[in-house]
Amino acid sequence: MKTGFVLIGALALAGCGKMPLGLGKPDAPAPAAQTQTRPQARPEGAAAPVPQANARTVEQFDTTTAAERAEAAAAPEPAGETKLGTTVASLGDPSKPGFWLETPLVSSASKGRVFFPATGKSAQVDLIPIDGPATGGSRLSLAAMRLIEAPLTDLPTIEVFTGG
């Protein structure tokens, strides 16, 4: 009986080398401490940067510039759009920067626009296809949700257009 307990104890201790609390030798060196850098202007046409790992507020996650927001809010070409339909949108991954909508309303990536009737605001977005029925929900970027003034914790119904 004692042999069984000793064997179990030895096996349990053998796994301690992988424990994160310094109880064993770490497998990889600890990551270098991140230093905070001053904001830098992005080159023309560059995508919004990914938020820092320690981002906690909406402003820290939304890394788009005022110019990018103005461009996304620009009115579409009057005759160049096609309405794809309406969808219920949830907040997409806030660590993924830019203006985009992941939706089953498209089968290939394209440019488009979302319109939130409750505020009368719209945003130019990248339409990204996801699996699911056309009646399925969509995921809207944090920057786009803020631009159309949709409540971040709600499930707003938005209209989706392609082209323009």
Kindly report which listed range (40-49, 58-67, 125-134) carries the lowest average pLDDT score. 40-49
* pTM (2 d.p.): 0.65
pLDDT tens, position by position, 60-102: 888 788 888 888 888 777 678 899 999 999 999 999 999 999 9
Cα angle 55-145-60, degrees, rounded to a multiple of 5:
15
Domain coordinates in residue numbering, the chain:
77-163
Both tokens assigned to 80: 């160049």
Alpha helices (runs of H) in 28-116, residue ranges in sequence order: 58-61, 66-72
Burial 12-28 (b: 16+ CB within 10 A, else e): eeeeeeeeeeeeeeeee
What gap in Å lies between CA 106 and CA 141, rounded to an integer? 16
CATH (residue range 77-163): 2.40.40.10
Neighbour-count burial of 62, counting CB atoms closer than 10 A to its CB (0-12 exposed, 13-18 middle, 19+ buried): buried
Region 30-55 average pLDDT: 54
Q: CA–CA distance from 116 to each of 21, 32, 56, 111, 146 (Å)?
A: 48, 43, 26, 17, 11
Q: Are strands 121-129 and 81-91 parallel, antiparallel or unpaired?
A: unpaired
Output the pLDDT for position 41.
Answer: 39
Q: Are strands 100-103 and 121-129 parallel, antiparallel or unpaired?
A: parallel
Cβ atoms of 164 and 116 closer than 8 Å: no
Q: How confident is the model at residue 55 (pLDDT cuts 50, 70, 90)?
A: confident
